[in-house]
Amino acid sequence: RKATSISLLVVIGVRADGQKILLSVKNMGGETAEAWRAILDDLVGRGLRRPEFLIVDGAPGLDRAIAALWDGVPVQRCTVHKHRNLLAHAPERL
């Protein structure tokens, strides 16, 4: 069997009590702003209200889609993704 690489766009919500809810998993063929906007529009169409804040992985398309739909909502970069990216670009001796 041959491995296949695909980009899954995943949205997880967290309720006030800490419960995590899987809101969307879609294969959109990439992480473009248009793909993310389609997912966010679908969530809004299903009743998702304006979020209090967002945690993202740093994908530029997601940042643009969020800014277009929910301008002014606080956005934080996921610390795990940030850490991985820093380690990937740091010299090995560190």
Residue 34 domain-assigned (yes or no): yes
Residue 50, in any domain of the structure? yes
Looking at the domain assignment, is residue 3 inside a domain? no
Contacts of 79 (CB under 8 A, 6+ apart): none
- Residue 74, judged by CB atoms within 10 A of its CB (0-12, 13-18, 19+), counts as exposed
Instruction: Give the three-state DSSP class for 75.
Output: strand
Tokens of 15: 């309720």
Length of the chain: 94
pTM over 0.75: yes
- Identify the domain containing residue 40 by its residue range: 8-89
How many domains does one find in the chain? 1
Is residue 46 one of the residues assigned to a domain?
A: yes
For residue range 4-57, what is the model confidence (pLDDT) as tens digits?
888 899 999 999 999 999 999 999 888 999 999 999 999 999 999 999 999 998
pLDDT (mean) for 76-92: 79
